[in-house]
């Protein structure tokens, strides 16, 4: 049975799409989903060579190396995408997941979390909005989509991942505000909050550390599930979606009642560590 699409791109009116951090993991899944939906996708990544390989494998229209911390590069990437077709979607997926406590994380890792996870989507969104407005004035296209890969950690405190969670909470707040600011222009803004995803980001955390154990205490979702949830919001007014929804309710509870809820943290961490050890034995 063919899956029903909420947002299809007419064959006679192709649009381009940019996906950042798309050489692997969630980014590749999002890029592949957009290719399937008819976008002319520009795969971007800090590793330009890997971006080119991914683009060739999924049938994307192009690839480019892109450092999301550089606002000027965001403008360059929008120009590259518009050379393919009028811009129709910008997905800010690139991110890092350095773990560590508030007092223990290195200054370099803390700065990277803010510059990549929060400022990266900001610079990209600004460039995308500018492109959408230029296209509207020129009469070449109206509106477009902006998607952001946030995190379930944006909804509540995550000991051992405090700075990471703060960066994701910041980008979720930014997404919600931007959705209101561009309302009426045909520009729709969305964010997806996935639970842990078994990607290089999660595997790169300290083995047995507090952050990794807490993430593994939940339900690991696939990159394809994240891609489907994010792109499935395109064409709608929905601002964000959490995957899975039941874990979002738990995270909001810890945010509302951090004292009582976080007393469960040692048990959750122990459960996550046990699951990680079991997964290691079975791989």
Q: Length of the chain in residues, anyone?
A: 283
CA distance 254 to 232: 28
Q: Is 16 exposed, middle or buried (0-12, 13-18, 19+ CB in 10 A)?
A: buried
Q: What is the largest CA-CA distance in the chain?
A: 58
Examine the residue annotation and report whether 39 is marked as an active-site residue of this protein: no
> Tokens 């469960």 identify what position?
264
Q: Angle CA(126)–CA(142)–CA(234) in degrees, nearest 5?
A: 75
CA distance 279 to 112: 29
Q: What is the DSSP string of 155-183?
A: GS--TTBHHHHHHHHHHHHHHHHHHHHTT
How crowded is residue 129: how many other Cβ atoms within 10 Å of its Cβ? Answer: 20
- Give yes or no for a contact between 17 and 39, defined as CB atoms under 8 angstroms apart: yes
Q: 195-199 — which CB contacts under 8 Å span 24+ positions?
A: 195/152, 195/219, 195/220, 195/221, 195/243, 195/244, 195/247, 196/152, 196/220, 196/221, 197/25, 197/26, 197/221, 197/222, 197/223, 197/226, 198/222, 199/24, 199/25, 199/26, 199/223
CA distance 249 to 254: 9
**Active-site position among 39, 66, 132, 164:** 164
Catalytic residues: 164
């Amino acid at each position: 049975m063919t899956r029903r699409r909420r947002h299809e791109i007419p064959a006679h009116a192709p649009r381009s799409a940019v996906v950042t951090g798309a050489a692997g993991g969630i980014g590749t899944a999002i890029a592949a989903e957009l290719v399937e939906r008819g976008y002319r996708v520009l795969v971007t990544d800090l590793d330009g060579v890997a971006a080119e390989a991914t683009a060739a494998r999924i049938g994307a229209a192009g690839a480019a190396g892109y450092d999301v911390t550089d606002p000027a590069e965001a403008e360059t990437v929008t120009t590259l995408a518009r050379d393919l077709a009028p811009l129709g979607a910008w997905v800010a997926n690139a991110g890092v997941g350095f773990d560590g406590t508030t007092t223990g994380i290195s200054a370099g890792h803390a700065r990277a979390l803010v510059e990549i996870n929060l400022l990266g989507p900001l610079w990209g969104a600004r460039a995308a909005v500018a492109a959408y407005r230029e296209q509207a004035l020129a009469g070449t296209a109206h509106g477009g989509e902006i998607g952001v890969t946030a995190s379930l950690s944006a909804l509540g405190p995550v000991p051992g991942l405090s700075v990471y969670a703060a960066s994701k909470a910041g980008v979720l707040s930014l997404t919600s505000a931007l959705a209101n600011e561009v309302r009426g222009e045909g520009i729709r803004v969305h964010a997806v909050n996935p639970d842990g995803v078994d990607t290089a980001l999660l595997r790169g955390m300290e083995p047995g550390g507090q952050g990794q154990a807490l993430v593994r205490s939940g339900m690991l979702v696939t990159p394809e599930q994240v891609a489907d949830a994010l792109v499935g919001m395109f064409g709608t007014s929905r601002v964000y979606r959490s995957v899975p929804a039941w874990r979002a309710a738990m995270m909001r509870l810890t945010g509302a009642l951090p004292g009582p809820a976080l007393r469960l943290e040692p048990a959750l961490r122990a459960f996550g560590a046990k699951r990680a050890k079991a997964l290691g034995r079975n791989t």
